[in-house]
Copies of this chain bind each other. A is one copy, B any other.
């Protein structure tokens, strides 16, 4: 490689870390539907949200006016420990693919949580601390969000109660150990520490738990314990707001090398990584400027955008949370337990859903998990980083687009999100290596059962 070329890793300076989060809702021209109270079906007010979330986060959740929201200095200082994250030119992958395309990825896995989740975790912990709370609660499935929040709470000296799906806690004792090292209290769910937990255990003493139950337990503890609030790591407007730092940094890095992506590709489960990655580029599109073609990649086993309905639905499996207008498979839909990656959420962030519905996100694409792990393995061998299965969905689509460029001879600039590393997902890699992994594509009948649970709410 010549020394005058674009470097492998494009870093901003710490001074160039954005000073504000970008609130895309202020630029969205179509009606961004409000979340509805599950009882009254009326838009949720700040007062109604206050028992659950911190005051400042409620404001952010409901804010559709301010384009920019300043990042407090304490959060910027924390960001400086692991940000700006590099924009990486995938030279070795390009060479392996013999593509004329220029492949870039924004790498968010370079911190102990192993993913972008830390960007919002530190913000949510900060506002809890600022409000003088004693602690916060949350749920975690695979443990990525729980780890990020543990780190954030450890840093601010805030208590954290994590309800971890019992079967995950048993299968992944090390994830539990990381959280405990950072000072979190991890309770396998269902537990006998909450009403809902006791009720579940009464019905089935051997229950392995579910994310829906863990959410319910975490919310119950938050609203019934003095000095505690609840936090959530994806889907919410506030989370996409915090994650906007990814896309802002990426755009600035492209300016440094005098380039601009033709394509932006992100994996989409709850939507927090793609929502963050696309932020500043989507701002261009919303403003009618030149903008990339946006691709949301989801697992074929949990295809909310490609096969779901755009409808008001509950945010949780337990159907006690507010309703959001989003692409959904129905709150009762649960992907096969053999589905390896995260991206298991039945719905999609309302912001992404609306942008896709209105054509601003150009394409949603579902990919099967064996193809995803094939792409992940190729990426690992050539780029030297073992990707999270979630991130590998974006890798799969990026490789496919790079191969198309080879066929057409186009030298497109492709940006994809490498949202995290797969160091805690090796069970899935093991299945793939041993050839025992299969795609887990739901049948139409299975989807219909999920759709039947979507409440008949207009809007």
B426 x A111 contact (CB < 8 A): no
Cβ-defined partner of A386 (8 Å) among B73, B181, B432:
B181
A362 to B: closest C-beta gap in Å:
31
Contact with B along A146-173 (1 / 0, CB 8 A): 0000010011000000000000000001
A386 x B429 contact (CB < 8 A): no
Cβ-defined partner of A154 (8 Å) among B180, B380, B423:
B380
B92 x A381 contact (CB < 8 A): no
Contacts of A383 on B, CB cut-off 8 Å?
81
A177 x B7 contact (CB < 8 A): no
A81 x B426 contact (CB < 8 A): no
A22 to B: closest C-beta gap in Å:
21
Contacts of A73 on B, CB cut-off 8 Å?
1
Query: What is the bound-complex CA distance between A110 and B177, given in angstroms?
Result: 21
Chain B residue at minimal CB-CB distance from A181: B429
A380 x B81 contact (CB < 8 A): no
Chain B residue at minimal CB-CB distance from A82: B384
Asked if A98 is at the interface of the complex by the 8 Å CB criterion, the answer is no
B11 x A11 contact (CB < 8 A): yes
Cβ-defined partner of A182 (8 Å) among B177, B380, B423:
B380
Within 8 A of B (CB), among A109-144: 110-112, 114
B382 x A155 contact (CB < 8 A): yes
Size band of the interface chain A makes with B: 35 or more
Query: What is the bound-complex CA distance between A3 and B19, given in angstroms?
Result: 12
Chain B residue at minimal CB-CB distance from A373: B181
Contacts of A81 on B, CB cut-off 8 Å?
8, 88, 92, 383-384
Asked if A14 is at the interface of the complex by the 8 Å CB criterion, the answer is yes
Within 8 A of B (CB), among A200-235: none
B426 x A177 contact (CB < 8 A): yes
Contacts of A18 on B, CB cut-off 8 Å?
none
Asked if A178 is at the interface of the complex by the 8 Å CB criterion, the answer is yes
Q: Known interface pairs A151-B384, A380-B112, A384-B151. Does A181 touch B433 (Cβ–Cβ under 8 Å)?
A: yes
Contact with B along A1-39 (1 / 0, CB 8 A): 101000111010111000000000000000000000000
Chain B residue at minimal CB-CB distance from A78: B384
A121 to B: closest C-beta gap in Å:
11
Asked if A67 is at the interface of the complex by the 8 Å CB criterion, the answer is no
A111 x B429 contact (CB < 8 A): no
Query: What is the bound-complex CA distance between A433 and B181, given in angstroms?
Result: 7
Asked if A424 is at the interface of the complex by the 8 Å CB criterion, the answer is yes
Contacts of A182 on B, CB cut-off 8 Å?
380-381
A422 to B: closest C-beta gap in Å:
9
Asked if A174 is at the interface of the complex by the 8 Å CB criterion, the answer is yes
A13 x B7 contact (CB < 8 A): yes
Contact with B along A417-435 (1 / 0, CB 8 A): 0000101101101101100
A122 to B: closest C-beta gap in Å:
9
A375 to B: closest C-beta gap in Å:
12
Query: What is the bound-complex CA distance between A427 and B73, given in angstroms?
Result: 36
Cβ-defined partner of A111 (8 Å) among B8, B111, B384:
B384
A180 x B433 contact (CB < 8 A): yes
Asked if A259 is at the interface of the complex by the 8 Å CB criterion, the answer is no
Asked if A377 is at the interface of the complex by the 8 Å CB criterion, the answer is yes
Chain B residue at minimal CB-CB distance from A173: B430
Contacts of A413 on B, CB cut-off 8 Å?
none
Contact with B along A183-205 (1 / 0, CB 8 A): 10000000000000000000000
12 further A-B contacts with Cβ under 8 Å, apart from A155-B382, A177-B426, A180-B429, are A7-B80, A11-B11, A78-B384, A81-B88, A81-B384, A112-B421, A151-B380, A151-B384, A173-B426, A177-B433, A181-B432, A182-B381
Offer 29 A-B interface pairs, CB within 8 angstroms, sorted by A.
A1-B77, A1-B80, A3-B15, A7-B13, A7-B80, A8-B80, A9-B80, A77-B91, A81-B92, A111-B384, A112-B384, A112-B386, A154-B381, A155-B382, A155-B384, A173-B426, A173-B430, A177-B426, A177-B429, A177-B430, A178-B423, A178-B426, A180-B429, A181-B377, A181-B432, A182-B380, A182-B381, A423-B423, A423-B424
